[in-house]
Structure 1
């Protein structure tokens, strides 16, 4: 079970974008994820008349390692760790470590 999933609100802990918040828009692989507005780079693209794209410099959001982000807890307004709790019916749910509240997905 992934502790950080698509759609979660996260906050960046380290790096150039430290302190920025954004929603996870894509999980690239087991360790990397794309967060909206975080790790944005300028990419030079060539024009492709077959696809109808123009060339130039575009902003592209690159993946970031999941160890560099933490889930954002709206109750406290700070970053928090994620734990897994087993319910009585055998279902696993994600909870905030600080308060034990269930994470709404």
Structure 2
């Protein structure tokens, strides 16, 4: 249901609230919870449906468990530490 608000100058505007779609709610729930049960609860609350109606869609959209956030070390770094040399240059001066 739109809400009516007064703007400056006396004009009126209406705001429209649109709940998220089931796919959007499942995507958000996957970002907030790792377990499927928690994802079902969150998605059901966001969409406003009972959990038993959301269950099938959540189970179909289950992502594999998150892996390590950093890539695994490459084989060449296992032989020893890499040396990185950083040289600092003086900033250029502009002559007028």
Fold match by TM threshold 0.5 = no
Return the structure number with greater helix share: 2
Q: Larger % of strand: which?
A: 1
Structure of greater relative contact order (alpha carbons < 8 Å, 6+ residues apart): 1
User: TM-score, with normalisation over the residues of structure 1?
Assistant: 0.23
Compute the TM-score of the two structures, normalised by the length of structure 2.
0.24
| Greater C-alpha radius of gyration | 2
